[in-house]
Amino acid sequence: MIEHKNNRVQPPYSLLAELTHRCPLHCPYCSNPLEMTLKDHELKTEEWCRVLTQAADLGVVEVHFSGGEPLLWGEDLEALIHHATRLEMYTNLITSGIGLTTEKALRLKDAGLANVQVSFQAGDAKLSDQIGGFKAFDQKRKAVQAVKEVGMHLSLNVVLHRLNIDSLDEIITLAEELEAGRLELANTQYYNWALLNREKLLPSREQIEQASKIYEEAISRIGNKMEIIWVIPDYYASTPKPCMGGWGAVALTVAPNGDVLPCPTAGMIEGISFENIQKSSLNQIWYESTSFNAFRGEVWMPETCRSCDLRHEDGGGCRCQAFALTGDATATDPACHMAPEHSIIEKAVQNANSSSEKPSSPVIYRNYLQHLK
C-alpha cells in the first residue's frame, strides 16, 4: 500500500544511480530524458561516494548502478561499488553488456558487486541488433558469459513492444539457455523518446493475449528455476500502476548531473524544480523538498482519484504519464478507465488494433553519438 501521510514518510528502499546518459545503443523506446546530461556535467567519483554515504544514512538498502550505459562513465565504478558494499548496501549493475569483459567483471565482483542485469532487445541476434540499432547481441552474450565465469548473479531485462513481443518464447528460451536467475520483461513506458514511437511500438490486444499465454506457460514449466516478471501493460489494463511504488515512497533516482528525482523520468514534468545533490543532502530532499512532497498524500489528487477506493493501491497512477499525455501532472493517469482523459489511451489502443500488420514507417532511433565524445 502506498504511504499517504507526509508525517509518516518511510525511508527509501532503493537508489537508482544513473552515472551517465551516454549509451552505445539507439533503442526507439529509450527512457532517458529528451535533454541528456553532457559528459562534462556528470558527477565525479567523490561526489557519488558522498551520495552513497548519504543514501546509506537515509536507510537505502539496495543501489542500482545504471545509465545510459554505466560502463561508459569515465570515472571509478569499482570504487563506487566498493564504497556501497562497505556501507552494507546490495549492489546491482544495469548494463547493455557492451564493454563487460571477464577481467572487468572480475574486478567488479572483487569490489563487491552482487548482481548484473544485462539488457537484450530480443531473443535472437538479428532482431535484437535491429531494435537496438547497433550490432550488440554477440557482445551481450560474451558479457553474460563473463558474469557467469566469475560467479556473479545474472538477470536479464527485455523491454517488450510491438516489434519483439511475438518472439517472447525465444526471449524466454534465451534466458533459460543463459541460465539467468531472473528475467524482467518490462513493458515500454510511453514517455519521452518512446512516446515519439508509440504508434510503432504499442502492441495489439492479440499480441498481448498471445504473450500472456506464453508467459503463463513458461512460469508453470520453469517454476523456481528462473524468476520471470511481467505484468499486462497499463494501456491494456483498466487501472493504472502504482508507479515506482508511489511518488517518493520507496525509491529515488540520482541523475548523472546530481538532480534527485522520485523516478527516473520525473525531470520531464514542467513546473517542478528538482533539487541537486550538490546543494542539498539526500535526507533533506527525501523528507522536505517540494518536489518529493508534490504527490505524496491525497491533497494533490483530483476528485476522480480522491473519491476512489483504489487510491491507496495505485496512488492515482503515474505522474509522468499523466503529464506526458495531458500536460498536467496532477491529472488522473489516463490509463485509468475512470480518468476524464482515458480516451487518449483508448484512441492509441484502437490504432494499435486497427491493423494486424506492423506499421510500415520506420521507428525513430535515439542517437547518442554526439554524447560519446
Residue 9 interacts with ligand FES (CB under 6 A): yes or no: no
Options 117, 192, 265, 291; binder of ligand FES; rule CB under 6 A:
265
Which of 265, 289 has the CB closer to ligand FES? Answer: 265
- Region from 38-46, 159-167, 261-269, 343-351 binding ligand FES, contact rule CB under 6 A: 261-269
Task: Pick the binder of ligand FES from 319, 331, 334, 366 (CB under 6 A).
Answer: 319
**Residue 30 marked ligand-binding:** yes
Cis peptide bond N-terminal to 68, omega within 30:
yes
Residues 91-110 that bind ligand FES (CB under 6 A): none
Using the minimum distance from each CB to ligand FES, give the nearer residue, 16 or 136: 16
Among 63, 228, 244, 325, binds ligand FES (CB under 6 A): 244
**Residue 251 engages ligand FES in binding (rule: CB under 6 A):** no
Instruction: Determine the interface stretch with ligand FES among 42-50, 153-161, 192-200, 263-271 (rule: CB under 6 A).
Output: 263-271
Q: Does 324 bind ligand FES (CB under 6 A)?
A: no
**243 interacts with ligand FES by CB under 6 A:** yes
Least Å distance, CB 183 to ligand FES, is 22
146-205: contacts with ligand FES (CB under 6 A): none
266 binds ligand FES (CB under 6 A): yes
Is 308 flagged in the annotation as binding?
no
Q: Compare residues 151 and 271 and give the one whose CB is closer to ligand FES.
A: 271
Q: Is 109 or 366 the residue whose CB approaches ligand FES more closely?
A: 366
Closer CB to ligand FES, 101 or 238, in the complex: 238
Nearer CB in complex with ligand FES: 131/263: 263
CB of 322 to ligand FES, least distance (A): 8
The distance of closest approach from Cβ of residue 6 to ligand FES in the complex, given in angstroms and rounded to an integer, is 18
Nearest-approach distance from CB 205 to ligand FES, in angstroms: 23
Closest by CA position to 270, among listed 189, 197, 191, 367: 191
Q: Which is nearer to ligand FES, 178 or 318 (CB)?
A: 318
Partners of 90 in beta bridges = 62
Helix/strand/coil (H/E/C) assignment for every residue in the chain: CCCCCHHHCCCCCEEEEECCCCCCCCCCCCCCCCCCCCHHHCCCHHHHHHHHHHHHHHCCCEEEEECCCHHHCCCCHHHHHHHHHHCCCEEEEEECCCCCCHHHHHHHHHHCCCEEEEEECCCCHHHHHHHHCCCCHHHHHHHHHHHHHCCCEEEEEEEECCCCHHHHHHHHHHHHHCCCCEEEEEECCCCHHHHHCHHHHCCCHHHHHHHHHHHHHHHHHHHHHCEEECCCCHHHCCCCCCHHHCCCCCEEEECCCCEEECCCCHHHCCCCCCCECCCCCHHHHHHHCHHHHCCCCCCCCCHHHHCCCCHHHHCCCCHHHHHHHHCCCCCCCCCCCCCCCHHHHHHHHHHHHCCCCCCCCCCCCCCCHHHCC
Euclidean distance between CA atoms 28 and 198, whole angstroms: 9
State the nearest-atom distance from the C-beta of 318 to ligand FES, in Å.
3
- The answer to whether 27 is a known ligand-binding residue is yes
The correct pick among 98, 320, 336, 363 for binding ligand FES (CB under 6 A) is 320
Task: Determine, following the binding rule CB under 6 A, whether residue 318 of this chain makes contact with ligand FES.
Answer: yes
For the chain, what's the residue count? Answer: 373
How far, in Å, CA of 125 to CA of 167, rounded? Answer: 12
- By CB under 6 A, name the binding residues for ligand FES: 243-244, 247, 263, 265-266, 318-320
